[in-house]
Amino acid sequence: MTPLAENSRPAVAAVIGLGSMGLGMARSMKRAGLDVIGYDITPAAVDRFVADGGRGAATPADAAREADIVVCVVVNGAQTEAVLFGPESVASTMKTGAVFISSATMNPAVARNLAQRVEALGLHYLDAPISGGAAKAALGELTIMASGSSQAFDRARPGLDAMAGKVYDLGGAAGTGAAFKMINQLLAGVHIAAACEAISFAAKQGLDLDKVYEVITASAGNSWMFENRVPHVLAGDYTPLSSIEIFVKDLGIVQDMARSERYPAPLAAAALQMYLAAAGAGMGRDDDSSLARLYALLSGAELPGPVKEPQSL
């Protein structure tokens, strides 16, 4: 059934940020019957969505003007704040009662601050970080970790149902969804680092890496990240599906949160140093499985495919 807004027309959704995640989310909502308007800082991204039958906008403010739901899929809290309150801001044109769905990964304190400012304008704010990657976004099967008022959930429901396979209602306070996402990112970052360390160590031992993958994925040492990321290493393909810089950012946020709580997070801290080293070696925009290449550079292990020479170590 086509999702309807209050006046019985198809709900209008604006998507700010049409990268690999945002484009899939926009397409999923359009496929579900919403009227979707897309904006991205890169005009070619907007053109791509328009070619799919969506509508494009020249600015975030223009995209949000008609929208019942504004979905913001940018990198971090600072970019989210700029979308909301910077030049050509969506907060200046959103209709009273519309909902802003914030999907960027950010410090929970930043999410709480943004929610207060948005709600003071008569708008709704849903703290709704996402997990699942570009493939799940394209299928409308993301996991969304959402927190906000019941009114925000109600307003956002047509978009949530279209974009997600699973929506977790984590309570009425913005910031809770962001905190759940940071726990996920702590684990994801550490697990990727461990997977890359293990497969590079296997290479250093001269083991058959395809056989290592077969054995470990059938054994207790397996993890979702080992199973997902090690094939990139075996193929020698580091095309960025999730970049090193993402975990420089996210594990940095984890460390900020832990420091403020006087909470020790040594495994996350060690993993962060490896991501920082990989970024410093010129791999920041490459796939996060490039940590394996960093281990190879440090140890002389031989991995499939070319190993990028470091710019600095």
Helix, strand, coil content of the chain in percent (nearest 5): 50, 15, 35
Nearest-angstrom CA–CA distance, 151 and 99: 9
Strand arrangement of the beta sheet that strand 99-102 belongs to:
55-56, 35-39, 12-16, 69-72, 99-102, 124-127
Of 156, 197, 170, 186, give the one whose Cα is nearest residue 70. 156
Nearest-angstrom CA–CA distance, 240 and 29: 25
Distance from first CA to last CA of the chain, Å, rounded? 56
**181 tagged catalytic:** yes
Nearest-angstrom CA–CA distance, 292 and 307: 10
Distance of CA 275 to the CA centre of its chain: 17
Task: Determine contact, residues 268/255, Cβ cutoff 8 Å.
Answer: yes
Task: Please list, in sequence order, all residues whose beta carbon lies within 8 angstroms of the beta carbon of residue 14, skipping any fewer than 6 positions away.
Answer: 36, 37, 38, 39, 57, 60, 63, 64, 66, 67, 69, 70, 71, 90
Secondary structure class of 164 (helix, strand, coil): strand
Q: Which helix (H) or strand (E) holds 194?
A: helix 176-204
Q: Which of 30, 136, 166, 181 is catalytic?
A: 181
Q: Give catalytic residues, as residue numbers.
A: 181
